[in-house]
Amino acid sequence: MANRTGGTALQLDITAAEAPARLVSFLEQRFGRLDLLVHNAGITRDKLLANMDAERWDAVLNVNLRAQLRITEAVLASDLLEDGSRIVSVSSQSGIAGNRGQANYVASKAGIIGMVRALAPVVAERGVTVNAVAPGFIETEMTAHMPVATREGGRRINSLRQGGLPVDVAEAIAWLGQAASGGVNGQIVRVCGQSMIGA
């Protein structure tokens, strides 16, 4: 994909201690500035809270939330961001409404919402915005492997009575990354077809 679009790729474990510094160094050397930072990495390690072990909890929080915070802090400490730069994080409808068996995932996605709201006034002083998108049920390879009843339930709990598509989330992120969205800061844009959960 990077080759087709004329982009570059950096293989990186975002949870590694040196990851933020490596990423900032790469961006400084290649581009010198950062127009749009999208935090899109995420994992699940589902278990009921009563059966949740520390390893599952930490793995999800480290990838989904701590890495975002550490990378954002490193970028803010650099000279990469300029007036008009944008930061967009991917949260989830689960971060708003919760989800049985996903306490670690829910905590990480709710944490993203809190992080975005806390960072908004800080980055605004530099002419930067930070927002998040919160997808609902999206038709992906991962959701295709869900049990049929769970998948159909996910599709039908919104006013559209269907699952969303990855392009729906991508277009919301792209809009938040444009100059035209400069008046939007600290917001959570739901991409959920008006989900009845967390309404």
Residue 64 gets which letter from DSSP?
I
What's the angle, vertex CA 178, arms to CA 175 and CA 184, rounded to 5? 75
8-state DSSP, 188: E
Give the residue numbers annotated as catalytic, written as ranges. Answer: 105
- Cα–Cα distances in Å, from 138 out to 55, 75, 163, 175? 27, 30, 5, 18
Contact of 175 with 188, CB cutoff 8 Å: no
Rounded CA separation 116/15 (Å): 19
